[in-house]
């Protein structure tokens, strides 16, 4: 079963996305901020990470992605960035820091599922 | 009489003077002013100046070569206006004219009394007149001063070095001496007034310049304050949009989740109700995104990312995005113009897509049932999109949009968004951001059209533009 790590600080968004993905048959684990996301990427060894870009004051999603890419144990896990705005600059920044793809919120589930199937190891 | 023939009807002194001044000199205000002074002296100077040799002749004081040389050297000044018109060589002619003046005055002094001549005061006007015609700076100034003082020195040397001066009865020159002195005094008074007026105007100009600089500083400060306020407004709108989007995302997401569950349970009533919640939430999210985009463009915070591409590569995707709104309004869209579709263009295609989609959405939003024909064609250094509205009441709608949005773009308040929709206003802003334009019109057959022009941003096209 494909295991997905959701890194999202907003409780409702996290819960909603987790339930929708679980309904589609995925195993889902969650982290509430950047440091926890980095730690869980190493410990839970997910097949794919859904990374919210705006993660609060501790660390943003791009910084967390850079840290995950910098760790040899997690460097190959594909990361899909989730951002609030469909800006070209956000998309470019996501690719620049090493994200495999980019999706805007609110997520379109069919579109997200396509990307998950494309990138999940 | 060439002058009289070619003078325009309604004679004026300025027209007479300008008749002799070539167009290339009239282009520069300072050169034109100097040339006019030059013309004034040369047109009327000989008339006044020759009263002196004529007086000497009439009064039988001097009816010989001295008066003839004096007369013709003054008469020679009339040649200068014609020479200027013919050659346009103002500096050379002004320089020669100063030589002519020096010769006239010094000849009169030499011929009629030497250092006791009643014409001696005329030496004083040499520098005044010389620097009225020519700029008092650089090589020209040095040469003129050297020539004036050199000529006077030679004259003095001739007078004091035993050179025999022509005989003249100084008693007979008393009247002309008084006239000469009075003329020099009047001339000096006129020049003093002229220069005083120049100084006064210069002071006033400096004063006005200071005032303008001060006003400019104030305007710069006000502009900076306005920019700060605009940036603060954009930040506020961005912040508010984020605050609104977060709970809205939850509403949309949970409604989708519940919809999926209701569909699994085949609960059609709940599916319908949740569908309404989801649709309303999505519409609200779209509106918030549009307001955010509008605010970002206004605050100059929407950077462009141009790339070479063709409309052909994007059109299908944009129409797919529009499918829900087109379906809800029972509209169809037809695309024409292969040359336009295949035209390579350097522009921000994401922004072009936003413009096209908002424009079509704006056209269809206010009506139900119809057809829009989108025609693409190369135009100048860019691409023109023509949106022909075949919907009922389309004309009235486009006229309303045109009046509301295009004539009052500087006064688009949130209250107006409800009137004709933010889509058109936002497409207009996007078009501006792209360096293009949108215009509304009605075709001869009565169909309303909206035309969007998107310019090519490639460097060669920008240079050419």
Q: How far apart are CA B178 and CA B176, in angstroms?
A: 5
Q: How far apart are CA B366 and CA B356, in angstroms?
A: 17
Give the pairing of strands B345-347 and B437-442.
unpaired
- Tell me how far the alpha carbon of residue B122 is from its chain's centroid: 47
Q: Which residues pair with A101 in a beta bridge?
A: A80
Structural contact between residues B287 and B326, judged by C-beta atoms closer than 8 angstroms: no
Nearest of B425, B248, B314 to residue A84 by alpha carbon: B248
Chain A residues with CB under 8 Å of B289 CB are 85
Contact flag B252-A17 (C-beta cutoff 8 Å): no
pLDDT band at B285 (very low <50, low <70, confident <90, very high): confident
CB-facing half-sphere around the CA of B359: CA atoms within 13 A: 31
Q: What is the pLDDT of residue B3?
A: 39
ipTM of the complex: 0.81
Chain A residues with CB under 8 Å of B257 CB are 16, 19-20, 23
Write out residues in chain A with pLDDT < 70, as ranges.
85-88, 121
Structural contact between residues B50 and B72, judged by C-beta atoms closer than 8 angstroms: no
Only one residue has tokens 């018109």, namely B85
Orientation of helix B349-365 relative to helix B394-401, angle to 10°:
120
Q: Does B305 touch chain A (CB under 8 A)?
A: yes
Q: For B24-52, how does the pLDDT look when each residue is reduced to its tens digit (9 = 90+)? A: 888 888 888 888 888 888 888 888 888 88
Contact flag A89-B285 (C-beta cutoff 8 Å): no
Chain B residues with CB under 8 Å of A53 CB are none
Residue B449 φ/ψ, nearest 5 degrees: -130, 155
Nearest-Cα residue of chain B relative to residue A104: B249
Q: For B148-166, how does the pLDDT look when each residue is reduced to its tens digit (9 = 90+)? A: 889 888 888 888 766 677 7
Burial zone of B176 (CB within 10 Å; 0-12 exposed, 13-18 middle, 19+ buried): buried
Q: For B389-403, how does the pLDDT look when each residue is reduced to its tens digit (9 = 90+)? A: 876 665 555 555 555
pTM of the model: 0.54
Q: Does B320 touch chain A (CB under 8 A)?
A: no
Most confident stretch, B170-179, B371-380, B398-407? B371-380
State how far the alpha carbon of B293 is from the alpha carbons of B229, B287, B297, in Å: 17, 10, 6
Structural contact between residues B396 and B407, judged by C-beta atoms closer than 8 angstroms: no
Q: What is the mean pLDDT of chain B?
A: 82
pLDDT average, residue stretch B355-384? 87
Q: Does A113 touch chain B (CB under 8 A)?
A: no
% of chain B residues with pLDDT over 70: 88
Which of A20, A88, A107 is the closest to B350 by Cβ? A88
Q: What is the pLDDT of residue B261?
A: 87
Say what the alpha-carbon torsion angle A61, A65, A67, A73 is, to the nearest 10 degrees.
Answer: 140
Which of B246, B292, B303 is the closest to A89 by Cβ? B303
Chain A residues with CB under 8 Å of B253 CB are 12-13, 16-17, 20, 106-107
Q: What is the pLDDT of residue B413?
A: 38
């Amino acid at each position: 079963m494909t295991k997905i790590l959701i890194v999202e600080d907003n409780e409702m968004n996290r819960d909603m996305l987790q339930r929708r993905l679980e309904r589609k048959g995925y195993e889902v684990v969650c982290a509430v901020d950047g440091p926890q996301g980095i730690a869980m990427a190493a410990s839970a060894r997910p097949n794919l990470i859904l990374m919210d870009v705006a993660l609060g004051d501790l660390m943003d999603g791009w910084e967390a992605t850079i840290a995950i890419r910098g760790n040899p144990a997690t460097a190959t896990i594909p990361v899909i960035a989730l951002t609030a705005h469909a800006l070209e600059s956000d998309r470019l920044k996501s690719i620049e820091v090493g994200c495999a793809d980019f999706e805007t919120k609110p997520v379109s589930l069919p579109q997200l599922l396509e990307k998950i199937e494309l990138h999940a190891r | 009489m060439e002058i009289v023939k070619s003078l325009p009807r309604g004679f004026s002194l300025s027209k007479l003077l300008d008749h002799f001044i070539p167009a290339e000199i009239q282009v520069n205000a300072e050169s034109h002013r100097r040339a006019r002074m030059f013309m004034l002296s040369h047109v009327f100077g000989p008339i006044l100046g020759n009263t002196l040799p004529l007086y000497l002749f009439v009064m039988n004081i001097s009816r010989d070569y001295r008066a003839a040389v004096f007369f013709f050297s003054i008469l020679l000044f009339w040649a200068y206006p014609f020479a200027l018109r013919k050659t346009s060589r103002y500096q050379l002619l002004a320089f020669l004219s100063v030589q002519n003046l020096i010769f006239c005055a010094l000849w009169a002094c030499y011929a009629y009394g030497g250092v006791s001549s009643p014409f001696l005061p005329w030496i004083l006007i040499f520098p005044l007149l010389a620097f009225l015609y020519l700029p008092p700076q650089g090589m020209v100034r040095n040469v003129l001063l050297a020539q004036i003082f050199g000529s006077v020195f030679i004259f003095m040397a001739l007078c004091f070095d035993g050179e025999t001066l022509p005989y003249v009865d100084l008693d007979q020159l008393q009247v002309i001496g008084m006239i000469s002195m009075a003329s020099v005094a009047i001339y000096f008074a006129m020049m003093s007034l002229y220069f005083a007026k120049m100084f006064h105007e210069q002071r006033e100009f400096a004063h006005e310049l200071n005032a303008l600089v001060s006003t400019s500083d104030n305007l710069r400060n006000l502009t900076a304050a306005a920019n700060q306020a605009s940036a603060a407004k954009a930040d506020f709108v961005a912040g508010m949009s984020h605050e609104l989007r977060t709970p809205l995302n939850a509403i949309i997401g949970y409604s989708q989740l519940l919809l999926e569950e209701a569909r699994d349970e085949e609960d059609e009533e709940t599916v319908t109700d949740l569908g309404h919640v989801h649709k309303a939430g999505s519409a609200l999210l779209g509106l918030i995104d549009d307001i955010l985009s509008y605010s970002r463009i206004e605050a100059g915070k929407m950077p462009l990312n141009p790339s070479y591409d063709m409309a052909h590569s994007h059109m299908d995707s944009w129409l797919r995005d529009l499918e829900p709104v087109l379906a809800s309004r029972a509209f169809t869209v037809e695309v024409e113009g292969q040359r336009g579709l295949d035209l390579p263009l350097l522009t921000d295609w994401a922004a072009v897509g936003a413009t096209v989609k908002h424009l079509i959405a704006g056209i269809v939003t206010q009506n139900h049932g119809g057809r829009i024909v989108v025609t693409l064609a190369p135009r100048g250094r860019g691409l023109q999109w023509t949106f022909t509205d075949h919907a009922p009441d389309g004309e009235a709608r486009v006229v309303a949009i045109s009046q509301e949005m295009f004539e009052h773009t500087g006064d688009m308040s949130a209250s107006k968004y409800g009137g004709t929709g933010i889509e058109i206003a936002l497409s207009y802003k996007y078009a501006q951001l792209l360096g293009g334009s949108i215009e509304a019109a009605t075709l001869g057959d009565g169909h309303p059209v909206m035309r969007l022009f998107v310019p090519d941003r490639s460097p060669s096209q920008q240079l050419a533009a």
